[in-house]
Amino acid sequence: ARGKNQLVPFSPSILLSKERSLDLIEHLRTSVERDFEGFSLAFQPQVDAMTGALRGAEVLARWQCADYGPVGPGEFIPLLEESGLIHPVGRWIFASAIRTCSRWVERLPDFSLSINLSYLQLSQPDFLPFARQTLLDMGVDPAHIVLELTESYIASSADAMSQTFEEIRKMGIRLAMDDFGTGYSSLNILKRAPADIVKIDRDFVKGIQNSRFDATFIRFIVALCHDVGIHVCLEGVETQEEYQIVRPMGLDTIQGFYFARPMAQQDFERWAALGRQQ
């Protein structure tokens, strides 16, 4: 239930956390009923790996629980999935994100907005029609939109979902393979998978100063992806030192605290100099 194929030994705290989970699900339900009260979006810039220029942003969901205060998406997204609430909340996230970026793309014609999708959302047949209609209503060209799906999900469903992936491509939306390098897929997923972008997981940046393997892995994945026409984004660059190491590696974009943390809409607009007055 915690994701990432973890095994967790039993402890009494699991029962406690079960109680917390059930409690949080009730609060999530109330939030949804109250017109998504407590939910908000954060935007983290994705920048050109060489120049640092803004290329796009990833949308990250935030939730303020009435009782428990801020709860992170690593905790509440699995609860939304477990309870089925991911469908209304996922649609709210998508529509709110598209509405927000509709003003940005007028200023920045090459801007990409990346939206995370839970595996459950795509298996619901009305999600893609909803997405298409939302883009039409808000006048946003699908070429600006990237849907992020995890590597594990894409690897396990590439065959079953191939028609859905094809439909997404026909709509003109791009697909990103998230958390790349953490699943157990073989490298030929890069050949088979429909991804336009690969996001290398931040695990590979964490110890990069001392790990020849991590540095070699990144360079190797960049070479392989570029050979088959896939863009590469590196997540989790936190320090100048890390940036100096990865900058010459040929990556397309970088996302990480070194450039900017996820920000509320207004802070993002200030950061990106997207203010109304300009």
Chain positions 161 to 180 lying near Ca ion, rule: CB under 5 A, are 178-179
Q: Which of 17, 257, 265, 267 binds ligand C2E (CB under 6 A)?
A: 257
> Of residues 23, 82, 238, 267, which one binds ligand C2E by CB under 6 A?
238
Question: Coil, strand or helix: which one is 114?
Answer: strand
Q: How far apart are CA 168 and CA 163, in angstroms?
A: 9
Specify whether the CB–CB gap between 195 and 155 falls below 8 A: no
Residue 56: which of ligand C2E, Ca ion, none does it interact with, CB under 5 to 8 A by kind?
A: none
**H or E segment to which residue 224 belongs:** helix 212-227
Q: Which amino acid is at 6?
A: Q
Query: x/- contact string, 128-157, with Ca ion (CB under 5 A)?
Result: --------------------x---------
Phi then psi dihedrals of residue 85, to 5 deg: -70, -10
Distance CA 131, CA 95 (A): 8
**Phi and psi (nearest 5°) for 74?**
-60, -25
What string marks each residue from 49 to 88 as x (binds Ca ion by CB under 5 A) or -? ----------------------------------------
For tokens 């209304």, what's the residue? 88
Strand partners, 198: 177, 232
Identify residues 245-264 at the interface with Ca ion (CB under 5 A).
none
Determine the Cα–Cα distance for residues 267 and 232; give it in Å rounded to an integer.
26
Residues 109-128 close enough to bind ligand C2E by CB under 6 A: 116-118
- Out of 27, 262, 263, 274, the residue judged to bind ligand C2E by CB under 6 A: 262
Choose from ligand C2E, Ca ion, none: what does 128 bind? Cβ within 5-8 Å by kind. Answer: none
Round to whole Å and give the CA distance between 215 and 153: 25
- Interaction residues for Ca ion, span 176-205 (CB under 5 A): 178-179
- Asked whether position 181 contacts ligand C2E by CB under 6 A, the answer is no
Residue in 1, 37, 67, 74 binding ligand C2E, rule: CB under 6 A:
74
> Quick one: what does residue 238 bind among ligand C2E, Ca ion, none, with the CB cut-off 5 to 8 Å set by partner type?
ligand C2E
Query: How many Cα atoms sit within 13 Å of 42 on the Cβ side?
Result: 13
User: Which residues contact ligand C2E by CB under 6 A?
Assistant: 44, 59-61, 72-74, 77, 93, 116-118, 178-179, 202, 235-238, 255-257, 262
